[in-house]
Each structure stands twice: as structure tokens, then as C-alpha cells.
Structure 1
Amino acid sequence: MKPTALITGGSRGIGAATAILLAHKGYDICISYRERSAEASLVMEACNALGVKAIAVQADISREADVVQLFAEMDQQLGSLTALINNAGMLLTQTRVESMTAERINRILQTNVTGTLLCCREAIRRMSPRNGGSGGTIVNISSGAARSGSPDEYVDYAASKGAVDTLTIGLSKEVAGDGIRVNAVRPGFIATDMHADGGEPDRIARLTPRIPLARGGQPEEVASAIAWLLDEATYSTGAFIDVTGGL
């Protein structure tokens, strides 16, 4: 039976790179997207061209009903779930904490924390032997910001990723007996459109002097770490890989 991976936020950046890499490795692929249907279709087509089955499902993971429907679509079209990559996340325009509103903070937490937890819940319901599953692997995409705190820019985003780190540790212990491994990757300054979402498309160029490897990272480099945790790190759970160029 082919392995199957569900990648949230798979229409661009790290999610798209991960989908294509896992398709190369023989995984059937389900990606979710919130708005970018054209980009999601291109990723799906690239995966299908590699000889696997790939689907793209529109879902806003901040909404519980969307998460439930996303997993139901995967069940119907792809079958058993082998791996979940919790990649979907959001940030908003750079600002200091003194200027943040409750609406902004809750919007970020609803996606980055609540949405990630809901996806974990649905995956466990399918992977756990108690529910007829045979184990599986979850990789959460955290951020180097969880360690730096991202002062003057994204403290709220950083706090949400700190919660993802705590979730990874706790959940890894909770489901280890079910044959489910839970690990995380912390990307640093990676060349994706997310910097534009924060209002500074050229942010990496500004911050490159701080990076020991003296460059930003590529989505494919993060995807490689994710794939290693899925396929090779068979004795690792509750572990973190920093893909941050040495920061």
C-alpha cells in the first residue's frame, strides 16, 4: 500500500516543496489551500506527473468544519493516512505588541494553534490502532521565531509557534504508545511569499548579515528535513530540527 501524506498549506512555499518531494518518494498526496486554487492545482499536477495520486482540497484550518471536511475528502479519495505535515500558518503585518489588537492576535492563534491541534486530532483518529489505524507520523512546522521571539516584528506569531513546540512535546508522549511519532521542524529565514504577507518582501536581504551561513534558506531545504523525519528518523519523537542557517 502506498504511503499517503496530508500537507496543510500546500499551495506554495514549504508546503508545495514538501508535496513534490514526497511525491518523488512515492507518497500519494493531499494538499489543502485556503485561497490559492490556481497554485494548488499546479502543485497537484506536478505530483500527479510523478506517478502518484494527488488531490487539492480547499480548507481554512481555523474553522473546525473545514478541517473535518478536509480529512473526510482525503479518506474518500486517498484512503489511509500515513503522514500529516502541519504546514499551514499565518502572520500579519509587522508591528510591536503595544499596537496589537485582540482581533489580530486571535486570528493568528486560531490558525497556527487551534488549526494545528484540530488537524492533529483528526490524524490521530485515523492513525491510532484503537481506531483501526496502524500508526503514523506527524510533523509540525514551527519556526525559529519560537526561540528568538521575533521582537519588533511578530511576537504574536512567535508565541503561536512556541505553542506548536509545546504541542509537539506533549503530543509525542501522548501518542507514542499508538505507534505515532510527532516531531517538528523550525525553519528560519526561508525564501517564501510569507515575508510579503508581513509587509517586507525583501526581509531576508536585510537580515542576512545575522545568519551564520550568510544566506536565506530554500523551501526544498526545509522539505528535506521534513522527509527525513517521516522516513528515516524512526527512533525520534518529540524532536526538533532547526533549519535556520545557524541562528
Structure 2
Amino acid sequence: MAARRGDVTMLDFSDQVVLVTGAGSGIGAAVAEGFGRRGAQVVVHYGRNREGAEKVASSIQEAGGRGSVVQADLTDPASATRLVDDVAARHGRLDVLVNNAGDLLGRTPVTEMTDEQFARVMDLNMTSVFAACRQAVPVMQRNGGGAIVNVTSVAARTGGAGGSVAYATAKGAVSTFTRGLAKEVARTGIRVNAIAPGIITTPFHERNTSDEQMAAMVAGIPMGRAGTPDECVGTVLFLADPAMSGYITGQVIEINGGQLTP
């Protein structure tokens, strides 16, 4: 809870258990560390990047916070279910769920994408979000409420850059799911919102975006640069704290340097 309403510097999650998926690098890592610096018990999830996740947990602990690491392959939706169940069993509660895990899994034109590739992209980016939320909602309800923050993308509204139609489609579904779930659980004390990052300098683009593609995308940003993972943290913390955003639910907040405005 925030110590004083309206004062961002006083954000305090010391009584909260927070699960951040895909927290081994990029936005997820920055968000996990942000919660950790404000006292949360942070569960740092990773799919393949164990080394990165352990560094994030260590950083949280060095700053005086509490961090632990857990692995799950979220291309398998059943793993998302088990992940939430494990966190709830281990800590007895779940106050904040940040569904950050996601990836293009490579740029592939629609005409060249196999059914298996499409399913993997959808499972990682959308189905895992559905599965994690489905498990988290009853846990949060038992404890009087909570906050879910999903990470969608500017691609949900633009259709994505070359070779990312499946990813953009999945992220569009995340945005719609966020709005729908928010209505469904609003009276149970759970708020559901999302952030939609634009071009953020993360390993995501190192894997999937050429220098030429990056330059072309940045050229269309009014602020004239890509964003950083740290520039996404404050919005997530704001959405997670009921003293700061207690009357906000079902919203998708764009973080894109003016690249696309509602």
C-alpha cells in the first residue's frame, strides 16, 4: 500500500507478494526490481534465462528487498497454471500479477508461418496470460483483492512491423482480454489494467529487429528515441497500487514516446 495518497515517492509494497513473468531481462527485470526496491516479496519468473533471473533476484536482495526465482515454459499454458498455483502455495497469497512474458519467436510472414509456429506465439503471448489470470483471480479474491497488470504492445493497435502479425494479433487479444476481465472481476476488489510499450531497448529487439528496422521505427517517434525498460516501471507500480489508481481498471496505458496516441 502507499503510505500517503498521491505521493509516488511513498509507494510501499512491503506487505505484498508480486509475481512478474518474463523477468529475466528487459521490462520484466526492471519492473521486478522496482517492486523489490519498494519492499515487495518478488517472484522473478523466467523461461530460459535463468542467469538473468538470478541476477534480478540478487539485485533485489542487495537493495534490501526479497526476491526468489521460478522457472516455467509459458509456451505451454498448463505451465502458467502451475506457476500461479506454486506461488500461491509457497507464499499463501498473491497480491500483484504482472503478465510480462512474451516474444515474437522470430519474424515470419503469414504465408510462411506454420500452424505450430502460430500456436506457440499465441500460447506464449496470450494463452499464458489467460491461464495465469484464471488461476490468480480466486487467490486474490480470497485475500480481498489485488491487481493484475498485463503487458501488451503498440503492435496491438498498429498490426506490428514486418513478420510480426501473429505477435500483434496476440497482443491485441491481451488488450481486449484486459478490458473484459476488468469488468468481470471489478466488484471483487481486483483491478485489471495493461501497459502497451512502444519501441523499448530490450533484448526483444536485439533478437528480432535489425538495425535498419529499428532506425525506421525510431524515426517515427516524436520524442526521437526509443524508450528504456526503466521508463515503463513507474506506470506498472502506479497501476498496482490501489492508493494511486484505485478507481482505474480496464485501461491500457500507452508508453511509446508519442509514436501512437489514442
Q: Do these two structures clear the TM 0.5 threshold for a shared fold by scoring above it? A: yes
In the other structure, the counterpart of 2:41 is 28
- Amino acid of the structure 1 residue aligned with 2:112: S
- Note the residue ranges of structure 2 that are not aligned, 5 or more in a row: 1-13
The alpha-carbon distance between structure 1 residues 202 and 125, as it changes in their structure 2 partners (threshold 3 A), is farther
- TM-score of the superposed pair, with normalisation by structure 1: 0.93
In the other structure, the counterpart of 2:29 is 16
- Amino acid of the structure 2 residue aligned with 1:222: C
Counterpart contact for 2:122–2:170, Cα < 8 Å: yes
Counterpart contact for 1:61–1:116, Cα < 8 Å: no
Tell me the secondary structure at the aligned position of residue 183 of structure 1.
Answer: strand
Counterpart contact for 1:193–1:201, Cα < 8 Å: no
Counterpart contact for 2:43–2:67, Cα < 8 Å: yes
How far residue 76 of structure 1 moved from its aligned partner, in angstroms, is: 3.9
Counterpart contact for 1:64–1:115, Cα < 8 Å: yes
In the other structure, the counterpart of 1:221 is 231
- Note the residue ranges of structure 1 that are not aligned, 5 or more in a row: none
Counterpart contact for 2:26–2:229, Cα < 8 Å: yes
Tell me the secondary structure at the aligned position of residue 143 of structure 2.
Answer: coil
The alpha-carbon distance between structure 1 residues 155 and 65, as it changes in their structure 2 partners (threshold 3 A), is closer
- Amino acid of the structure 2 residue aligned with 1:122: Q
Matches within 5 A, 1:155-194: 155-194=165-204
CA RMSD of aligned residues (A): 1.6
The one-character-per-residue Cα deviations of 1:51-75 (angstroms, maximum 9, x if unpaired) are 2221110101232442233223323
In the other structure, the counterpart of 2:249 is 237
Tell me the secondary structure at the aligned position of residue 65 of structure 2.
Answer: coil
Rounded to whole Å, the distance in 2 between the matches of 1:62 and 1:152 is: 22
Pairing partner for 2:146 from 133, 136, 139: 136
Rounded to whole Å, the distance in 2 between the matches of 1:203 and 1:36 is: 25
In the other structure, the counterpart of 1:119 is 132
Counterpart contact for 2:88–2:139, Cα < 8 Å: no
How far residue 121 of structure 1 moved from its aligned partner, in angstroms, is: 0.9
Counterpart contact for 1:175–1:181, Cα < 8 Å: yes
Runs of 4+ residues over 6 Å off in structure 1: none
In the other structure, the counterpart of 1:204 is 214
Matches within 5 A, 1:62-81: 62-81=75-94
Rounded to whole Å, the distance in 1 between the matches of 2:66 and 2:86 is: 13
